[in-house]
Chain A
Amino acid sequence: AQTVTQSQPEMSVQEAETVTLSCTYDTSESDYYLFWYKQPPSRQMILVIRQEAYKQQNATENRFSVNFQKAAKSFSLKISDSQLGDAAMYFCAYRSLSSGNTPLVFGKGTRLSVIA
């Protein structure tokens, strides 16, 4: 079974600085998707960024980018120019492509604080 590990329960960053959240996963599959979700204090889970495993190019969405290292099974999230609104729980998730409607497997999350 696949597992997702987020080794940093909590992180903090100064406003306007850059922070990297780590995520590693364990799988024997070659085709899959990886996601970062953000859950602000209001509790609405929001998709931040996604990465297809077959793509070598790292995904980027504005200030959010990933460092996808397939061989190392690592999928870190970099937030540049951090803003107060970035404070939230961040979840890394994995989805297999093996068959049909496979569910997401989530990590335990990293709580990010942004210091003004």
Chain B
Amino acid sequence: ETGVTQTPRHLVMGMTNKKSLKCEQHLGHNAMYWYKQSAKKPLELMFVYSLEERVENNSVPSRFSPECPNSSHLFLHLHTLQPEDSALYLCASARVGLDTDTQYFGPGTRLTVL
């Protein structure tokens, strides 16, 4: 599956580090999403970009900063994270305007904060 790719697949960082997660979609979609997946919790929507404009921010701490430079790329910039931020971060994309706007997911980045 190469429709939505994410890099890196695994990331270990200290609380004082700055890192970025990257997502790229090759499906011609116009909306992209960041989700956080923690153990035993439902997927949590973090950010939504539609037509490169942020349309939703679900009360995410400011230590997470998204960036969507174009419709194919989405970044999540991380700084001064906490151990509880350790999780799987999933990117998804969709074609907004079609009947179902089905979201297609990337493989995720497994983040560990020490």
Contact = CB atoms under 8 A, between A and B. Distances in A.
Interface of A: 4, 33, 35, 37, 42-47, 50, 52, 91, 95, 100-101, 103-109
Contacts of A91: 43
Contacts of B96: 100-101
Given A44-B1, A47-B102, A108 B42 contact: yes
Contacts of A108: 40-42
A43 B107 CA distance: 5
A75 B32 CA distance: 26
A66 to B, nearest CB: 14
B4 to A, nearest CB: 9
Interface stretch (B16-24, B48-56, B59-67): B48-56
Contacts of B105: 37, 44-46
Interface in B5-31: 31
A50 B1 contact: no
A42 B107 contact: yes
B42 A45 contact: no
Interface in B58-110: 88, 90, 92, 96, 99-108, 110
Contacts of A43: 88, 107-108, 110
B111 interface: no
B86 to A, nearest CB: 15
